[in-house]
Structure 1
Amino acid sequence: MSVPMTLLGLLEREPSHGYDLKRDYDAFFSRGKPLPFGQVYATLSRLARDGKIVIGEVEPGEGPERKRYVITDRGATEVESWLTEPVAAEPNLQTVLFTKVVLALMLGRAAEDYLDRQRAAHLVRMKELTDVKRSGTLVDAMLADHGLFHLEADLHWIDTTVARLDALAKAVRK
């Protein structure tokens, strides 16, 4: 997740205070991992330094003054460019899951046991995401689907790998 680009996108929608940006980020994008206020304001500071946003109206607040941030043309151009770039289909072919299996085999350990535990963990997470999908908003359901599809792909890979463990062990123990 690109926090700077997400905040820029939220600012393109409308000028906002840092508090409002955090609230919207957490509501739509964080799902269980809220964005710390410090990160919001540090990111806004860098975006302002780089000329992608400016501080608009400053309003008095109960504590410090409330600054309304406004996206600049440069920031809007960057959002447009970022939105049109495709996300890398598979940024890392050598995932932690793959690395653990290969290392277990290299070290003569039971990779199938590890894969069984991983499968069980994936199934637990899939149940959690299915519950979110059933009880949440449309945004929750769409995010849950995204996670579920990735977990389903991992489960397929786990099953395929278990079927090939003997051959893989021979290949990596040379």
Structure 2
Amino acid sequence: MSLVELHLALLSRGPAHGYDLKREYDAWFPDAKPLAFGQVYATLARLVRDELAEVVETRSEGGPERTVYTVTVAGRQRLRQWLAEPAPPAVAGTEDLVRKTIAALRTTDPERAATSVVADQRTAHLRRMRALADPPGREANPGPGDAVPDEVGARLSRRYALLHLDADLRWLDEAATALETPRRPS
């Protein structure tokens, strides 16, 4: 994930401080791991260093001091370039799911270990899919014109996650079948 470009996208909506960026990121990707404040401020420091963002002001408003950032012309250009480049497809075999299954297959008592890994992973995937399909606080059946852009983004993000989990489940089913198939002596 490119935090630099995502921060630029968040800042392109207007000046903001780190807390705003974290809150917006978490709203954009409600089913992803929440963005850590440390990541936000480290990324903002790099953006300022690389002249992709700049400090507009520092204010306290009766609470902790907040530094407000804005995107620069160079930052907007970098964001446009990033958005124009297609994201590379995931490299097959680099997912933890694949690595863990292959490692289990190659360990002591490989059939039992791999079968157990596949079954446990399948259960975890199904549990996650159920959680994504019925997120807490979801309104009952909004109409097609009722969604605001943030809700559309959250729905698209959730759908992407569900489709990836579904693809993983199909792979797990194939792995389970392959593990159950008797091997011919070589």
Matches within 5 A, 1:50-89: 50-89=50-89
Identical aligned residues as a percent: 40
Count residues in correspondence.
Answer: 172
Kept after mapping to 2: 8 A contact 1:12/1:71: yes
Higher relative contact order, structure no. (Cα contacts within 8 Å, ≥ 6 residues apart): 2
Kept after mapping to 2: 8 A contact 1:134/1:141: no
SS in 1 for 2:70: strand
User: 2:146 maps to which residue?
Assistant: none
Equivalent-residue separation in structure 2 for 1:113 and 1:66 (angstroms):
50
Is 1:113 matched up with 2:116?
A: yes
**What code does the residue aligned with 1:120 have?**
T
User: 2:164 maps to which residue?
Assistant: 150
Cα distance change of structure 1 residues 121 and 168 upon mapping to structure 2, 3 Å threshold? farther
**What code does the residue aligned with 1:41 have?**
Y
Kept after mapping to 2: 8 A contact 1:133/1:144: no
4+ long deviations beyond 4 Å: 166-171
Which one has the bigger helix percentage? 1
CA deviation map 1:47-94 (0-9, x unaligned): 101111111133342234433211111111111111111111123523
User: 2:21 maps to which residue?
Assistant: 21
**What code does the residue aligned with 1:149 have?**
L
User: 2:147 maps to which residue?
Assistant: none
Structure 1 vs Structure 2 CA RMSD? 2.7
SS in 2 for 1:13: coil
So what's the TM-score if we normalise by structure 2? 0.78
Kept after mapping to 1: 8 A contact 2:11/2:69: yes
User: 1:164 maps to which residue?
Assistant: 178
So what's the TM-score if we normalise by structure 1? 0.83
Equivalent-residue separation in structure 2 for 1:31 and 1:156 (angstroms):
22
- 1:30 CA displacement: 5.3
Kept after mapping to 2: 8 A contact 1:133/1:141: no
Equivalent-residue separation in structure 1 for 2:87 and 2:177 (angstroms):
31
Cα distance change of structure 1 residues 65 and 102 upon mapping to structure 2, 3 Å threshold? closer
SS in 2 for 1:41: helix
Equivalent-residue separation in structure 1 for 2:27 and 2:178 (angstroms):
42
**What code does the residue aligned with 2:124 have?**
A
Gapped runs of 5+ residues in structure 1?
Answer: none
Gapped runs of 5+ residues in structure 2?
Answer: 140-150
**What code does the residue aligned with 1:146 have?**
Y
**What code does the residue aligned with 1:15 have?**
P
